[in-house]
Amino acid sequence: MEMIPTWIFYLMAAVAGLELGGLATIFIQRWIDEKPILKPWGSACPACSKPLAWRDTVPVLSYLLLRGRCRHCDERIGPQYMLVELSCMAWSLAVAHQFGLSPEWGVYLVLGIILIVGSFIDFETMLLPNRVTLGGAALAVAALFVLDLPGWKNGLLGAAVGGTFFWVLQQAYRLVRRDEGLGTGDVKLMLMIGAMVGFKGLPLTILIASLTSVVGFAFFVFRPGMQEGKMRIPFGPFLSLGCLLYVLYGEELRKWLGM
């Protein structure tokens, strides 16, 4: 960190977060629309499918200048594009502040953006792609042998216990209620999250997810189209939020709470 001024590093982190956020929006929209992720390589309008010039793809700024509309067809583009980019920038800056210019910043930046991508997809479709859950789990396990925390033994145990625990919850709910209460995507997601927070971090991560999901439930109750008795909310985004918060502050919180 001494090699470059702090403000330059934060500027780099902000730009990196925005640029990766721009790529994340492409992945999210194309997965939801069931289109090839890598073809075409550049961005295109989701309404008219016309390729977008570079000036129309500058994160956040282009959206604001175009007032959330396509330059070609004038069709309105949802605010989720800008929200994804801002979320990725905020995560990049948060990790930069916590870990500085280090391998942790780069690794957690990528893993966090994977969780952000999965969260936006889950909110929209109630599904979590294998590319996010299993791909993220593979990267998180690989990262255990690069980072000091949570340690490879603790991380592997966390992945195994987290995935198994949620699989048991899923099967128990099916047996008792004869219904799907916990998606298989959440079970796979816990492989990634367990590897990131480790076995010791699972209780606090799940606790944060449970508490924040209560707020999410209130939002979904009033969401248009929700029918009484059929209200379901995606749990993946709240598990991801619990994981991200634990990465930033979990060790300190766990010691403070005596967990």
- Mean pLDDT, residues 145-171: 94
Given this model, what pLDDT does residue 162 score? 96
Q: Is the pLDDT score of 72 beyond 80?
A: no
- Mean pLDDT, residues 213-240: 73
Count of CB atoms within 10 A of residue 33's CB?
9
Residue with tokens 């709470």: 257
Given this model, what pLDDT does residue 66 score? 74
Q: Please say whether the beta carbons of 76 and 48 come within 8 A.
A: no
Angle between helices 236-257 and 184-221 (to 10 degrees): 90
Q: Where are the domains of the chain?
A: 1-101, 103-259
Q: Is the pLDDT score of 2 beyond 80?
A: no
Average pLDDT, the chain: 86
149 phi/psi in degrees, rounded to 5: -115, 145
Given this model, what pLDDT does residue 223 score? 60
Buried b (16+ CB within 10 A) or exposed e, 39-77: eeeebbbbeeeeebeeebbebbebbeeeeeebebeeeeb
Given this model, what pLDDT does residue 103 score? 93
| pTM of the predicted model as reported, rounded to 2 decimal places | 0.89
* CA angle at 52 for the pair 50 and 58, rounded to the nearest 5°: 155
Cα Rg for the chain, rounded, in angstroms?
Answer: 19
66 phi/psi in degrees, rounded to 5: -90, 5
CA 75 to mean position of chain CA atoms: 27
Given this model, what pLDDT does residue 225 score? 55
SS3 255: helix
Q: What is the number of alpha carbons within 13 Å of residue 27 lying toward its C-beta? A: 21
Candidate from 51-60, 113-122, 161-170, 208-217 with smallest mean pLDDT: 51-60
With bands split at pLDDT 50, 70 and 90, how would you rate the model's confidence at 229?
Answer: very low
Given this model, what pLDDT does residue 222 score? 65
Q: What span, in angstroms and rounded, lies between the C-alpha atoms of 105 and 188?
A: 24
Q: Is the pLDDT score of 56 beyond 90?
A: no
Beta-carbon contacts of 215 under 8 Å, excluding residues fewer than 6 positions away, are: none
